């Protein structure tokens, strides 16, 4: 026995231990590879479960469509007028892409109407992704934060390009058309979809649009130009956003709601009412969806006429998609509870919110998705986005800062922690009172409001909290909000 094999390699020179170690390392490497829970592919995304890219997109889209179909929309209604509140960030661009993709995949009736035959092929393709049998996307709107005149036009251009890039994912020939341009509103169009960027002082412009005369119809010259009142308002907002993130968040929401209401009424006046004068079937030519039902078209026209006669007193039949994610809902639920506004959690966290904006149904189909999951979807589909104008506070000196740190800690410790909070909000029952806060018009229980016996004003706990801390700023914004609503009511009642 010479100690050599037939290949004349000395057995003593073979390092058996090294071979075993290499084999063990290979086995460990295989064990470290995490596979998708639905298929055998390598998982590259770890949210609540481990998934591959393909399965993640399928599951994410399926759950979004399920939320929209079963939790947000009434199955009986058809052809709803749909609008999207989109700031251009990764959440809102993902929301637009999800909706367009949903319509593109959904069964689409080619017989939209006799007028469809005159449309170009490109327009038919765009109509296919904006319209389906149950919804008609007609408006994408953003409320721009504190910006001056020059920055507003620059930001508007970036915003339009961001939205256009999402549409081009489905139709590369899709191009945006310039629309109205003013100091407070910038508009563009893609087919029948109006894209609007609105300055935060817009509700002040709407107040100045019509003089308080007997007829309340005489236009005021220069109402669409920013003046000293707008400049002061913007500076006040900038100051309060920097000094107090809690009050800033409260004010920012009220400004957004006031501007949305003002713009919806402006949109209806300029589109529905004008088209009804030139077209007996005005609904089909412009809105193509407010109050529309396949079963009874006469009811549709009566709804439009009702809106027209009331001069926008109530914005009827508008659905507004909001990109509130699971993280947003949880932060808001804790924030409202800290302010003593726990009764508002039920509707401000609901899939369908009919209380925040009168006459408009706010839908939250992203409620069951985390920021992380939406970010994955945005990255996989290579969507564009705009940078945020302000960052989320994380200072322990503010309520919001503590809440943001708290929710991040929950996410770190448990991937399903926030999901469990969402389950609790789904069980809350909305029982709003008819009593409204004088400042923010939020439904409040009478006994929970601070009553001013001299003026019979009711102030909700949220506004009352900031009234004590920031008296001067509170009075300034309170007067602006009340003045705008009072003027609007006078015009509608005359």
CA–CA distance, 353 with 168 (Å, rounded to integer): 31
CA–CA distance, 175 with 139 (Å, rounded to integer): 16
Per the model's pLDDT, the better-predicted residue between 105 and 392 turns out to be 105
| pLDDT score at 324 | 96
CA–CA distance, 320 with 360 (Å, rounded to integer): 7
pLDDT band for position 227 (50/70/90)? confident
Strands 352-353, 360-363: pairing is: antiparallel
| pLDDT score at 25 | 63
At which residue do the structure tokens 């930001």 appear?
A: 155
Per the model's pLDDT, the better-predicted residue between 241 and 112 turns out to be 241
Q: What is the mean pLDDT of the chain?
A: 77
CA–CA distance, 270 with 488 (Å, rounded to integer): 17
Per residue in 167-209, pLDDT (tens digit) is: 999 988 888 999 989 988 999 999 899 999 999 999 888 777 6
DSSP 3-state of 185: strand
CA–CA distance, 288 with 285 (Å, rounded to integer): 6
Per residue in 451-474, pLDDT (tens digit) is: 443 456 778 888 888 888 888 888
Per residue in 346-385, pLDDT (tens digit) is: 999 999 998 888 889 999 999 999 999 999 999 999 999 8
Nearest CA among 412, 388, 408 for reference residue 396? 408
CA–CA distance, 288 with 294 (Å, rounded to integer): 12
CA–CA distance, 45 with 60 (Å, rounded to integer): 12
CA–CA distance, 483 with 203 (Å, rounded to integer): 10
pTM for the model stands at 0.81
Per residue in 278-319, pLDDT (tens digit) is: 444 443 434 444 433 343 333 333 333 333 334 334 445 789
Phi, psi dihedrals of residue 469, rounded to the nearest 5°:
-80, -45
Strand partners, 141: 85, 196
- Long-range own/partner contacts, residues 405-413 (CB < 8 A, 24 or more apart): 406/334, 407/327, 407/330, 407/331, 407/334, 410/330, 411/327, 411/370, 411/372
| pLDDT score at 115 | 46
CA–CA distance, 247 with 466 (Å, rounded to integer): 7
DSSP 3-state of 298: helix
The two tokens of residue 377 are: 């979807």
| pLDDT score at 8 | 55
């Amino acid at each position: 026995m010479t100690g050599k094999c037939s290949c004349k390699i000395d057995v003593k020179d073979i390092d058996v231990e090294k071979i075993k170690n290499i084999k063990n390392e290979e086995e460990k490497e295989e064990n470290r590879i995490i596979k998708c829970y639905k298929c055998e592919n390598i998982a590259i995304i770890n949210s609540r479960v481990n998934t591959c890219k393909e399965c993640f997109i399928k599951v994410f889209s399926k759950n979004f469509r399920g939320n929209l179909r079963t939790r947000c929309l009434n199955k009986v209604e058809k052809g709803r007028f749909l609008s999207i509140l989109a700031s251009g960030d990764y959440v809102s661009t993902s929301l637009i892409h999800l909706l367009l993709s949903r319509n593109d995949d959904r069964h689409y009736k080619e017989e939209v109407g006799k007028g469809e035959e005159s449309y170009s092929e490109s327009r038919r393709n765009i109509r296919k992704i904006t319209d389906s049998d149950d919804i008609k996307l007609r408006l994408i709107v953003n409320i721009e934060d504190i910006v001056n005149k020059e920055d507003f036009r620059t930001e508007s251009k970036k915003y339009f390009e961001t939205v256009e890039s999402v549409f081009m994912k489905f139709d590369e020939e899709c191009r945006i058309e310039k629309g109205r341009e003013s100091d407070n509103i910038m508009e563009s169009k893609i087919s029948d979809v109006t894209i609007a960027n609105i300055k935060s002082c817009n509700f002040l412009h709407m107040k100045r649009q019509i003089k308080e005369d007997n007829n309340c119809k005489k236009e005021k010259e220069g109402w669409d130009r920013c003046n000293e009142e707008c400049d002061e308002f913007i500076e006040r907002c900038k100051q309060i956003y920097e000094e107090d993130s809690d009050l800033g968040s409260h004010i920012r929401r009220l400004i957004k709601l006031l501007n949305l209401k003002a713009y919806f009424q402006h949109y209806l006046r300029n589109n529905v009412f004008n088209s009804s004068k030139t077209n007996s079937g005005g609904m089909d030519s412009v809105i193509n969806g407010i109050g529309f039902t396949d079963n009874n078209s006469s009811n549709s026209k009566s709804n439009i006429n009702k809106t027209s006669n009331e001069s926008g007193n109530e914005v009827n039949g508008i659905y507004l998609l909001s990109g509130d994610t699971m993280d947003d809902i949880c932060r808001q639920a804790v924030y409202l509870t800290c302010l003593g506004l726990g009764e508002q959690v039920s509707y401000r966290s609901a899939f369908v919110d009919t209380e925040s904006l009168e006459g408009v149904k706010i839908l939250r189909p992203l409620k069951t998705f985390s920021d992380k999951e939406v970010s994955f979807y945005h990255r996989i589909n290579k969507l564009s986005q705009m940078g945020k104008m302000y960052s989320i506070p994380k200072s322990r000196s503010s309520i919001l800062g503590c809440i943001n740190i708290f929710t991040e800690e929950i996410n770190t410790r448990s991937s399903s922690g926030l999901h469990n909070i969402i389950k609790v909000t789904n069980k809350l029952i909305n029982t709003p009172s008819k009593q409204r806060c004088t400042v923010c018009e939020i439904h409040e229980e009478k006994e929970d409001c601070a009553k001013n016996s001299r003026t019979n004003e009711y102030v909700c706990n949220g506004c009352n909290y900031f009234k004590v801390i920031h008296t001067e700023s509170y009075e300034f914004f309170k007067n602006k909000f009340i003045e705008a609503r009072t003027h609007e009511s006078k015009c509608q009642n005359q």
